Chains A and B, each alone.
Chain A
């Protein structure tokens, strides 16, 4: 009874502070960076896995010691030799089978249980890698993932399986990019070493490869999968873009740039500009197409898209001017704006296409709906 009274008193007191409490709750808006949460989780998974392996190794070691203890036994214990030998053979078979599993896992593809083993082994290798071969390992892993993506896309499996497997491998690609992004040196302008710069170049290469692979995937995947995975693919491209920009920023910030550094920066810019020019041209083509076929309710959206593609094209010219003046900092900022515009426009187009697939609007766009099975329309 006394406890209840105290509890009610406290509840009343808390109520009288409602205004203050509401203000405190505003601080809830502070959240950690999403990339860090994923990276930290991946790191935790690896550490847990290593701990488990260490434990297993310790267990195996003590088991082996037990097995070989017969070597120390006297004549009168000879009968135990046969038993120990049998157990040893059993263990050897188990170990050999594990070896086969590991070997088989290296050939595995997304969708298979062994694929998880393969990913775990790769992570373990990465964890124990020295600074010198970590870069090489990461590049190998990235290439492997891109190869797997290609294989899955070209495989003749059911749409459902293909979608699940593409999603799985794309998820791993995204994780690798996030790790790359986190590993980019977080240093000030004055202390960027040559080694860091080389790492930055490697990371840029990987990010660019991912972007190309995603573009190719979008071209090769059936419409249904493309629609379902659109957000995921856009997310990965976004992470790749950010990684690429962050790496380029590091190159630009390098003090005492020589001609070779400038060539490197210009070639990176050129590569990204080409990519953005293609994207802007695609946008323009889609604008014209949708203008020709659109209904009155879509006119405002089309107007926005036209405006955005014009704006992006204008900024691309500005960017070329910045580069001619060697003003890389402004050029990079302009590039980021172009990227945002293009991505925004692509998102609008994608949501518009999705809306066109809706059954109630199918009368307006019969061609679009025909390629999508009924289950995705609902």
Chain B
């Protein structure tokens, strides 16, 4: 029986590793650390699920593995920053974002890189709670219900938070645009 669970867990890994990595990378700004923490997320998740087999919390976790992995990642990030005694690295420090699709035209790649840089800078200027919720909702396309589950908030509260985050981000983007002009 355990091997079936392992198999399923590895399927979850294949499904979510990219998303968890991206979430951690944007919150931490270092490729190596993001790799280490992502691998830790899956290992700790497995240990939790395995040790609490048949328990309600474990079953619930595996019913919505995505939300569970994000929760584990979030807790690990909190621990990480606490241990290091510093606040999360701002997105401004994130460098070397490589565009995955190499088949594209170099001009298009450059244009997209510039656009990405603009969004990244705007995200830096909004608070961490807003950053996080924007990453989840629009980058990782999580449902409101899932975000509510991760944050342990009501769906209504999440909608309000998203709305504020979007307004805030748009304001920063518009301001940056106006300054450029």
List A residues at the B interface (Cβ < 8 Å): 6, 10, 13-14, 17, 20-21, 23-32, 36-37, 40-41, 43-45, 47-48, 51-52, 55
Contact of B120 among A21, A27, A51 (CB under 8 A): A27
Query: How many angstroms from the CA of A281 to the CA of B38 in the assembled complex?
Result: 45
| Contact in complex: B50, A51 (CB < 8 Å) | yes
Given contacts A36-B35, A47-B43, contact A27 B26 (CB under 8 A): yes
**In the bound complex, CA of A34 to CA of B39 (Å):** 14
CA distance A30 to B38 in the complex (A): 15
Shortest distance in angstroms between A15's beta carbon and chain B's nearest beta carbon?
11
Least CB distance from A58 to B in Å reads: 13
Q: A17-B166, A51-B47, A51-B50 are in contact. Are A29 and B116 (CB under 8 A)?
A: yes
Contact between chains at A44 and B173 (CB < 8 Å): no
In the complex the two chains form, is A44's CB within 8 Å of B170's CB? no
- Check if B39 sits within 8 Å of A30, measured CB to CB: no
CB distance from B119 to the nearest CB of A (A): 5
Interface of B is mostly: helix
A29 near B101 with CB under 8 A, answer yes
Contact A40 B25 (CB under 8 A): no
**Cα of A271 to Cα of B118 in the assembled complex, Å:** 47
Contacts of A26 in B (CB 8 A): 112, 115-116, 119
Please tell me if the beta carbons of A27 and B119 are within 8 angstroms of each other in the complex: yes
Q: Given contacts A24-B134, A29-B101, is CB(A43)–CB(B112) below 8 Å? A: no
- Is B80 among interface residues, defined by CB-CB distance under 8 A? no
B22 in the interface, Cβ–Cβ < 8 Å? yes
Report the Cα distance A44→B69, complex, angstroms.
15
Q: Contact between B35 and A32 (Cβ–Cβ < 8 Å)?
A: yes
Question: Could you count the A-B residue pairs with CB atoms below 8 Å apart for me: how many are there?
Answer: 100
Chain B residue with Cβ nearest A186: B32
Would A30 and B25 count as touching, CB distance under 8 A? yes
Q: Beyond A10-B159, A30-B98: 16 further Cβ-contacts under 8 Å? A: A20-B166, A24-B119, A25-B138, A25-B139, A29-B97, A29-B100, A30-B100, A32-B21, A32-B25, A41-B13, A41-B14, A47-B43, A51-B46, A51-B50, A52-B3, A52-B6
**Chain B residues whose C-beta falls within 8 Å of the C-beta of A47 in the assembled complex:** 43, 46
Could you tell me the distance between the alpha carbons of A28 and B137 in the complex, rounded to whole angstroms?
12
B139 touches A32 (CB 8 A): no
Contact with B22, one of A31, A36, A55 (Cβ below 8 angstroms): A31
* CB closest chain-A residue, reference B118: A23
What's the nearest-Cβ distance from chain B to residue A284, in Å? 28
> A29 to B18, Cβ gap below 8 A?
no
In the complex, which residues 104-150 of chain B have their Cβ closer than 8 Å to any Cβ of chain A?
Answer: 112, 115-116, 118-120, 123, 134, 138-139, 144
Bound-state CA distance A267–B97 (Å) is: 37
A40 touches B39 (CB 8 A): yes
Among B17, B42, B99, B170, point to the contact of A29 (Cβ < 8 A).
Answer: B99
Q: What is the CA–CA distance of A43 and B43 in the complex, to the nearest angstrom?
A: 10
Indicate if B163 sits at the interface (CB-CB under 8 A): yes
Contact present for A44 and B43 (CB under 8 Å): yes
B42 touches A44 (CB 8 A): yes
Q: Are A24 and B159 in contact (CB under 8 A)?
A: no
When the two chains form their complex, are residues A30 and B22 in contact, meaning their CB atoms are under 8 A apart?
yes
Contact B6 A48 (CB under 8 A): yes
In the assembled complex, how far is the CB of residue B67 from the closest CB belonging to chain A, in whole angstroms? 19
Give Cα A24–Cα B136 distance, bound, in whole angstroms: 11
List chain B residues, Cβ under 8 A from A6. Answer: 156, 159
Verify if B169 is at the interface (C-beta below 8 Å from A). yes
Give every chain A residue within 8 A of B119 (Cβ-Cβ): 23-24, 26-27
